[in-house]
A = this chain, B = another copy of it.
Amino acid sequence: MAASTLTEVARLAGVSPATASRVLNGSARKPGPDIAERVRQAAESLGYVPNAQAQGLAKSSSGLIGLIVHDIADPYFSAIARGVQEAAREQRKMVLLATTGGGPAEEKEAVAAFAARRADSIVIAGSRSRRPGDTEGNAELAAELDRYCRNGGRVAVVGHPVVGATAPEGYHVVQVPNQELAGQLATELAKDWDGKFVIIGGPEGLFTSDDRIRGFQEGLERAGRQPAEVLRNSFNRTGGFEAGLQLAARIKAEQSEGGEHTKLCIFAVNDVMAIGAAAALRAEGLRIPRDAAIAGFDDIETLRDFRPALSTVRLPLEEIGRIATRATGRPGGHSADQDKDHDQELEPAGTIRGEVTLRRSTEVAA
Question: A residues engaging B (CB < 8 A)?
Answer: 1-3, 47, 49-54, 56-57, 60, 62, 67, 71-75, 78-79, 81-82, 85, 89, 94-99, 112-113, 115-118, 147, 150-152, 237, 272, 275-276, 278-279, 282, 300-303, 305-307, 318
Contacts and interface: CB of A to CB of B under 8 A. Distances in A.
A72 B82 contact: yes
A230 to B, nearest CB: 23
B99 A97 contact: no
B49 A57 contact: no
Nearest to A117: B52
A302 B85 contact: no
A78 B97 CA distance: 12
Copies in the assembly, this chain: 2
Contacts of A237: 305
A66 to B, nearest CB: 9
Contact of A97 (B97, B150, B301): B97
A57 B113 CA distance: 17
A116 B79 contact: no
B60 A2 contact: yes
A151 B1 contact: yes
Contact of A50 (B116, B302, B318): B116
A214 to B, nearest CB: 28
Nearest to A74: B78
Contacts of A57: 51, 53-54, 57
B72 A147 contact: no
Nearest to A276: B305
A45 B113 CA distance: 18
